[in-house]
Amino acid sequence: MILVLLGPPGAGKGTQAERLAEEFKLPHVASGDLFRENMKNKTELGLLANRYIVEGELVPDDVTIAMIRDRLERPDCENGVILDGFPRTLAQAEGFKDILAGMDRTLDGVLYIAVPDEELVRRLSGRRICRRCQTPYHIQFNPPQNHRVCDICAGVLYQREDDKPETVRARLNVYRQQTLPLIDFYCQYGLLTEVDGSGDIETVTAALSEAAHGLNK
């Protein structure tokens, strides 16, 4: 199964992609995590991505599409993948179509996680991320057992640079301008399912899981 999770910053794509990946035994591929990994390792790609990410802007399409193509060609994606954060422009959606066509694969569905703006800001301002395994926590809604350390791998938790209020505002604007058009794009192919993402984490997981199982029928 090839599944895309679409939604605004803070909608819960990363949180839910992890859970779906576990349920469906598929890799979770997050463009943001791939960029942050490169930034941490100070690779050429990481240094380039950092310039855009700190401003809340999108990394250029050609760079992003090439990075995702490389990742999808790895053997662990043979049986499918849960994509989080890609595609997020029309050019990326077209590039993704070409990647899949070249691999003789098709997209099974896009699950759009809808969450009101005020809730997004609350979620992003309280988010903490594991520096080692990237698991997201929330100081109020999904706290770790120890507030400084990841429950899964004991990595140190930190607040993302782009979760500062002014950068969050920029990211939401970019989302509205460049990513929202993907809803119509995937609707026209009958691939889009909207899921209410405003409930608690368990409720949203159940709704997404049901929608994902529906795609396999």
Of the candidates 11, 45, 195, 212, which one interacts with ligand AP5 according to CB under 6 A?
A: 11
Cβ atoms of 61 and 89 within 8 Å: the answer is yes
Beta bridge partners of 83: 4, 29
Closest to 10 in 3D by CA, of 142, 152, 146 = 142
Task: Tell me the C-alpha distance between 57 and 186, whole Å.
Answer: 23
Taking CB under 6 A as the binding criterion, the range among 56-64, 75-83, 96-104, 148-156 that sits at the site for ligand AP5 is 56-64
First-to-last C-alpha distance (Å) of the chain: 12
Task: Tell me the C-alpha distance between 151 and 155, whole Å.
Answer: 8
Of the candidates 26, 29, 72, 204, which one interacts with ligand AP5 according to CB under 6 A?
A: 204
Helix (H) or strand (E) holding 94: helix 90-102
**Residue 95 engages ligand AP5 in binding (rule: CB under 6 A):** no
Q: 1 to each of 82, 100, 106, 109, 214, how far by Cα in Å?
A: 8, 12, 9, 9, 12
Q: Which is nearer to ligand AP5, 58 or 150 (CB)?
A: 58
**Residue 38 engages ligand AP5 in binding (rule: CB under 6 A):** no
Q: Which is nearer to ligand AP5, 109 or 127 (CB)?
A: 127
- What is the three-class DSSP state of 89? coil
**Residue 53 engages ligand AP5 in binding (rule: CB under 6 A):** yes
Taking CB under 6 A as the binding criterion, the range among 13-21, 40-48, 98-106, 149-157 that sits at the site for ligand AP5 is 13-21
Closest to 86 in 3D by CA, of 188, 26, 2 = 2
Question: Which residue numbers are catalytic?
Answer: 13, 88, 127, 160, 171
Q: 87 to each of 1, 84, 122, 125, 132, how far by Cα in Å?
A: 16, 8, 25, 24, 25
Of the candidates 4, 28, 29, 32, which one interacts with ligand AP5 according to CB under 6 A?
A: 32
Distance of CA 96 to the CA centre of its chain: 15
**Residue 56 engages ligand AP5 in binding (rule: CB under 6 A):** yes
**Residue 15 engages ligand AP5 in binding (rule: CB under 6 A):** yes
Residue with nearest beta carbon to ligand AP5 = 32
Of the candidates 35, 96, 112, 186, which one interacts with ligand AP5 according to CB under 6 A?
A: 35
- Residues in contact with ligand AP5 by the rule CB under 6 A: 7, 9-15, 31-32, 35, 52-53, 56-59, 64, 85-86, 88, 92, 123-124, 126-127, 136-138, 141-142, 162, 171, 200-201, 204
